Structures are given as structure tokens and as C-alpha cells.
Amino acid sequence: MPSVAPPPIVVDDVTKVFRLPRERISTLKERALHPFKRTGVEKFVALRNVSFAVRPGEFFGIVGRNGSGKSTLLKCIAGIYAVDKGAIYVNGKVSTFIELGVGFNPDLPARDNVVLNGTMLGLSPKEARRRFDRIIDFAELRDFVDLKLKNYSSGMLVRLAFSVMIQVDADILLIDEILAVGDAAFQQKCYEEFERLRRVGTTVLFVTHDMGAVQRFCDRALLLEHGRVVETGEPQQVANRYLELNFSPAARAAEQQSAEAAQDQEEERDVQSTSMEPDREQEAAAPVGETEAQARYGDGKAEIVRVWLEDEEGNELDYIPIGRRCVLAMRVAVREPLIDPLFGVNVHNDRGDHLFSASNLFTSPRLGRFEAGEEVVVRISFPAYLAPDRYHFTPAVAHQGGSWIDRRERMFSLPAAGTARTDGLVDLPYEVVCERLKEREVAR
Amino acid sequence: MSSATRDIKLSARRHPIYGTAIKGPSALGSNPRRLLHLTWTIAIAEFKLAFFGSVLGYLWQLMRPLLLFGVIYLVLSGKLSHKVHLSLNGPHYAPALLLGIVLFTFFTEATGGSVTCLVDRENLIRKVELPRLAVPLASVLTALLNLVLNLVPVLIFMLAEGVTPTIRWLELPLLVAALAAFALGLAMLLSVGYVWFRDVKPIWEVLLQAAFYASGIFFAVTSFGSRTVLGVRINFSHLLLFNPFAAVLQQARHALISPTYPSAMTALGGPLFAVPLGIIAASLGIGYLVFDRQAPYVAEQL
């Protein structure tokens, strides 16, 4: 590939391990008293074989839950943490925004702080001084130039810090969740600045858990979970995946397991570092958690164990008989006491159209108290006025307020078969009446 | 990435398309200008703080060495009682004493101030890409800026006492540089040491206290001579002058105050002069090695 600009950021198979001593020796005295004491070290794998590349001018999001490793990844790229394995390539002038106003000193006036903060962010002190006027005007703090920073309001501080930040012209910006501070007006300002950065073609790496911002700004995003890359792609797709992970206890448990399994492998691998194909196993381990993770939300106070379809006589069906009455049954195991839970189902066709929902909310919302350990079978009967297609059932148990107890996305699916009288989405019962009008009426 | 490339040392990584891999946090960073800029900015801010802190900032800054000077001068120089009389074995006791105190104040600020510097600047180290060396370097630089101001009253005392300016005064920057190098070496060791062991701070304070009395600030180290201890003949003057601070001070008095004070070389008798120089070089070298080794992990240890 001749004369192709190198990608601004390439993260190649990066692993980062934090070694946390189980019992820390923090004084020389202890060390002198126990010179041969070896404290165990707990390894925490914060990033595991992370690889991705950011294209020039791209707005790239890194999302993940707290503790998923997203900030660690940013710090590795920024050169704050050393990586244990793999390599990071950065081409271009980088500026890192992990916190607004890094280096601010409350006892100094604005000018000194602009120089301090600007230097931290990559300007030379001279450049920072030259841009001081622009910065102070943008921050609308001209009248407070000589005031020590400790006398600034928090809003003024944020404004000053932000104004310095946008004066730092870097090719690559690494931004960590700084939008979390400040009020709505400030956030709006940030968003406007983001739009400007997009226009001028700055490459931005943006760590957040605000899915709205990801979908609004990012060209692509990457989802981290337990230090692994779960998904890289379109912001929408990554955001959906994030929401799934975030709201599903079963997914969390599964992820935890697969992460621990991978961690065990990791530790074994550390021992026998000659292992030739470590990644193969890990890739194999991942999908188990993912298929589980695909489809579950809720607090887990009850669990949908099984879903099936029966006819009116109670015989299990392996297809949906078009036009006939059938019964969707679900068995639910109650894990913790529940009061007036709601049971329901959503039905989608193969294309993803949401055809209908049914629950006891409108029929019998007060089911009373269910004790832990109880098992319940819920039956929802309905006439299968459906067009020939494959149908997906999403059963759910929810609290009265609407929050999920257990919702299993597309847990169960069956084809519909029979004689259809439609080519629409549904096959509603209909009658056709044809009435001939008398001539006199026609004339009128 | 094949597993073959995986064990190559990170700093040596080059990729035909991606370029050179970043080397991660280190003592010097990847851009020497950035190291300089950061060191200078941090040091200047620190320095300004001392003076903007109060209207009398400069006076307060001078207060410590001057008070110490006043006490020692009154009590030990025989002004109050002739029974107590410690001599420096040379003329111009007042400026010679003040010079020692001012230089020691610098040494205390530079080393004592850098013990906690990495921990104090935790927010910077964890939030921006910062060549780690900038932090202890800035501590030493701040102390150096204070020293320049503190040398003003020394100069005034010297002129008031009738010390005649000579070309030898030009030795001062060299001597200060030697002292700063020694302090920097110690600063690198101490700052990293403190990240791991929190009792480095009290230990170093005690050592500084001891050094104050052992460095010939208010007495002449040259007046000890040799003595036999347990059958071994030890030259205590030499022993005290092995301390780089004592040697620098001895030389500074020789160059600035009066040639009556023997030079460090003369006082050590030739080849032994290499010992304090060697200690300076060793502190700088070992300090840098240790600091460089620990630098990548400082952010994680804080």
C-alpha cells in the first residue's frame, strides 16, 4: 500500500495487567523487619488482547460499563500507563482530556493557570500565552483575569478549562467522559465544539457511557466488557449491544464467567509463556457468553425457564396454526418474593415488525404475592391471525412499575403454517359483504 | 500479529505501515522540549505561589535562612560569650555563615521538597502524558529559583563586610550546578522511594538534620584532622568533606569569601577530591537508573 497515510491510532493486541499486592508493604521499616516476606500479587487483567484501528478524521467511541477497561485503554493510548503486551501506534499530535483543567492551581490567577493547563495539554508555554486573550474571551472571563482561581465559581472554572481545551490544536484528541461535568449549556457548547472538530477533520477518540452522544457523533464505536472487545462497528449496533449488556443480570453473570475463564487461561499462559495459539481458545470462549448475553434484561428476581406453544387441548405445537386459537405458555421460577408481577409476551415477525403484545396488565394486574421458590405457569391464549412467516416470542416478567424482572429477547420462535388469506403482516379475521345498490340510489 | 513479534521489546517496535509504537510513560518522555516546557511551567508556578501567597512573600522566603543565621551568629560566633566560639578558620564570618545556610536551605528544599513530589502531583501524572522526570526536576528547579533570590542578601553581606569581588566568583554557577546535580540525583531516588515506602519522608528529614550539623555550616570541617579510632587512623576532615555538600560549601567559601578558606581540593589533599565528585556522579547515575526503571509504573502505584 504505497503512500497511504498511516491510521492515526492503531491498537494492536494490547493487554494490560494491574498487579495489586494482596498485602502492601508501605514502609521501609516493615521491609527491613521482614526482608524476605513475599506478599502475593493479585493480577487484574484490565485489557485483554484489544485490537482496533481508528481511521483518519474519524470520531471513534469507546463504550463500556464502569470497570470495563475503557479509561485504562484511553490512558494506555495517551501514554499514561504502560502496556504489558502488544503495541500502540499513534501518528499525529495527541492531546488528552481526561479531566478538565488539569494542573489548575487555585492560588494562581487565570493567566498562570491557562499556561499551566495549556502546557499540560501539549501547548508550549509561549503558545499558551499567545492564545491567552482568545481563551479568556471565549470563556467570557475578561473581567476576572486577575482573580485567583479559588474565587471562581465552578461554572467559571469549567468555562475556562473548556476554552483552553479547544485552543489546543491537536491532530488526535483523546477525550474521557468530560462531558459529565457542567450544566446543559456547557454540554451544548461541547457538542458544538464536537461538530466543529468533525468539520475540520480532527480524529477523536471518545470514551463515554452516554449512548446518545455515541450515536450522535461517532462514526464508529467499540464496546469493551471485562477488558475485551465485544463489538466494533456502527454506533447504533454498539449502543444496542451496550444496552443489552447493561440491563441483563444473566448476561452479566455469563460475561463474568467467561471473563474469569479467560482470566484463568491468561494466568496459565503467563506460566507457560511459550503457548503458541492463545487467542484461539479465547475466541472460542467468547461466543458462549455472547449468545447468552444477546437477549436478557432484568433484575433476576424471577426467571423464565421455558416457553412453548400449545393448542387449546394442551398439546405442544411445533408450528403456529394460522387462524386457530393457540396458547403461549411460559414457566417461571420465582427467585425472590414478588408482589403483583406482570407476565407478558411480545411477538415479532421475521422482519422485526412488532405485531402485538399481551400481558396481564389489562386483564388481571393484581396476581398477589409469589414466594421465592414457587414455580408458575402462565398461559396466554390468542387466535393466531398471522401471515405465513417465522414468529419470535419475547416473554417477559416485570414489576408493576415497568422495570424488568426477566425479559428474554426472542427466546422462542416458530413458523406459522396453514391456509392464509392475506399477503399482509397479519391475517385478521374478516368477512366480505357485497351489497348491490338500487338504480335509484345510484342515480342520486 | 503473529505471536513471534509479541515478545519483542516494546520500545523497539516498528511497523511498516503504522510507524513506531509509542513507548508509554517514561522518565524522559518522547519529546525533550515537552520535558523542558513542563518542568519550567511547573517550577515557575510553584515559585510564583511562594510569592503571590502573601504580600511579603519574598521576605518570608528569606526569613528562614536569616533567622537561622541570626541565632547561629549570635550564639556560636562568640558575640554573646567568649566561652562559646566556633570558628570557620577564616575571615568574614557573617557572609561565610550565611552562604552556608543559604546553600543548605537550597539543598533541603530541593531534596526534602521532592520526596513527596510524585505523590503530590498524582493528579497530573494520572491525567496527562507527562515525562515523569519533569516532576522532581521541577522541584529542584523551584528550589534553584529560590536560591537565586536568597543569594542576594549573601551578596549584600559580602559587600558590606568588604569582600572584594574577584574573577573566582564565576565559580559559583558551577558549584551551584554541582550541588543541584547531587540534589537531583537524590530527588529522583527519594521521590520514587516515597511512592513505595511512606517512611522515606521522616527518614530523610532526620538525615537532613544530621547533615546540617555535619557539613561545616557553622564550623570549619578542616579543623578536625586525623584521630585514631579502634586502632584505625581516620582523617575526620576528609571524612566530612566526602559529603558533596560540605565539599561544595568549602569550595564556595574559598572562591567567594576569601582564599584563606582552603579549597576543597587542598582540604582533601589532591586525589581524594574525586570522592565527593564521584558521589555526585553516582547519585545522579543511580538516581536516574532507578527512576527510569520505576517511571512507567508510577501512575499505577499512586
Q: Identify the pLDDT of residue B187.
A: 96
Q: Identify the pLDDT of residue B9.
A: 44
Q: Which range among B19-23, B93-97, B190-194 has the greatest average pLDDT?
A: B190-194
pLDDT digits 0-9 by tens, B6-18? 344 444 567 777 8
List CB contacts (< 8 A) between B299 and chain A. Answer: 75, 80-81
**Is 60 exceeded by the pLDDT of residue A284?**
no
List CB contacts (< 8 A) between B52 and chain A. Answer: 107-108
- Binary contact (A107, B21; C-beta < 8 A): no
- Binary contact (B123, A102; C-beta < 8 A): yes
Q: What is the model's pTM?
A: 0.69
Amino acid at A219: D
Q: Identify the pLDDT of residue B207.
A: 95
- Binary contact (B299, A75; C-beta < 8 A): yes
pLDDT digits 0-9 by tens, B207-257? 999 999 988 888 888 887 777 888 888 888 888 899 999 999 999 999 999
Task: Please report, for chain B, the start and end positions of each structural domain, with discontinuous segments joined by +.
Answer: 31-294
Residues counted in chain A:
444
pLDDT digits 0-9 by tens, A305-316? 899 999 888 888
**Is 60 exceeded by the pLDDT of residue B92?**
yes
Between the CA atoms of A260, A266, A269 and A271, what dihedral angle is there, to the nearest 10 degrees? -90
Q: Identify the pLDDT of residue A36.
A: 67
> Hey, what's the cell of B87?
570558628
List CB contacts (< 8 A) between A88 and chain B. Answer: 21-22
- Band (A183; pLDDT cuts 50, 70, 90): low
DSSP SS3 for B75: helix
Q: Identify which of B38, B91, B100 has the alpha carbon closest to the alpha carbon of residue A116.
A: B38
Yes or no: say if B289 and B21 are a contact pair by the CB < 8 Å rule.
no
Task: Please report, for chain A, the start and end positions of each structural domain, with discontinuous segments joined by +.
Answer: 9-239, 248-294, 302-417
Q: Which residues contact A330 (CB under 8 A, 6 or more apart)?
A: A304, A305, A306, A307, A308, A343, A345, A377, A378, A395
**Is 60 exceeded by the pLDDT of residue A340?**
yes
**Is 60 exceeded by the pLDDT of residue A249?**
no
pLDDT digits 0-9 by tens, A35-56? 766 667 778 889 999 999 999 9
- Band (A285; pLDDT cuts 50, 70, 90): very low
Q: Identify the pLDDT of residue A350.
A: 79
Q: What is the CATH number of domain A9-239?
A: 3.40.50.300
Of B24, B127, B200, the CB nearest to A99: B127
- Binary contact (A91, B22; C-beta < 8 A): no
What's the CA gap between A69 and A66, in Å, rounded? Answer: 8
**Is 50 exceeded by the pLDDT of residue A216?**
yes
Q: Identify the pLDDT of residue A442.
A: 61
Q: Does domain A302-417 have CATH number 3.40.50.720?
A: no
**Is 50 exceeded by the pLDDT of residue A25?**
yes
Of A26, A112, A119, the CB nearest to B198: A26
Q: Chain A interface, mutation test: which of B35, B41, B141, most A Cβ atoms within 10 Å?
A: B41
Top-confidence residue, B157 or B86: B157
Longest dimension (CA), chain B: 82
**Is 70 exceeded by the pLDDT of residue B4?**
no
Percent of chain B with pLDDT over 70: 91
For range B97-121, the mean pLDDT = 93
Q: Identify the pLDDT of residue B10.
A: 43
pLDDT digits 0-9 by tens, A125-146? 999 999 999 999 888 889 898 8
- Binary contact (A86, B6; C-beta < 8 A): yes
For range A73-91, the mean pLDDT = 91
Q: Report ipTM (2 d.p.).
A: 0.80
Nearest Cα of chain A lies from the Cα of B19 at a distance, in angstroms, of: 7
Dihedral sign from CA coordinates of A381, A387, A388, A393: negative
Which of A33-37, A65-69, A386-390 is the least confident region?
A: A33-37
List CB contacts (< 8 A) between B127 and chain A. Answer: 80, 96, 98-99, 102, 120
For range A282-293, the mean pLDDT = 34
Nearest Cα of chain A lies from the Cα of B81 at a distance, in angstroms, of: 43
- Binary contact (A116, B21; C-beta < 8 A): no
Q: Identify the pLDDT of residue A180.
A: 60
